[in-house]
Structure 1
């Protein structure tokens, strides 16, 4: 599995969200309730970043596979007497 990498602007956005969260919630002792809040925070506000990144990765994979399939189909082309 490739490591997850974000473009610089996306990284800045995620870091800003985390900074905002800890600015709003300065409690450093993380018990079960604060841990659940942090989980909810990542689910609600960060989940879309990870979800979208996975969609971009899937699109790239599908594009590469379709290019390969297209190349394979062209190898099946039979010679004819007429020009195309």
Structure 2
């Protein structure tokens, strides 16, 4: 899997979202660096699992549709 690269604006928004989460849910203020490190952890360690699950689900879905199409043969 290729490395996930976010555009500057999207990464900035995600960092702000992480800071807001820590503030609202944990009553803890974290800075940009800490939030960026959390984001990097999620991207590098957790995101591949979500990606693989999406690929697996897509494969299963497409396989079912192909089976449906083959059922139309005369």
> Which category describes the TM-score, using the shorter chain as reference length?
0.5 to 0.7
TM-score, structure 1 normalization: 0.52
2:50 maps to 50
Name the count of aligned residue pairs: 47
Q: Is the counterpart of residue 72 in structure 1 residue 72 in structure 2?
A: yes
Deviation at 1:72, TM superposition (A): 1.3
Runs (5+) with no aligned partner, structure 1 = 1-27, 78-84
> Counting helix residues as a fraction of each chain, which structure ranks higher?
2
TM-score, structure 2 normalization: 0.58
1:39 maps to 39
Larger RCO of the pair (alpha carbons < 8 Å, separation 6+)? 1
* Distance in 1 of aligned mates of 2:32 and 2:69: 50
Runs (5+) with no aligned partner, structure 2 = 1-27
* Distance in 2 of aligned mates of 1:49 and 1:61: 18
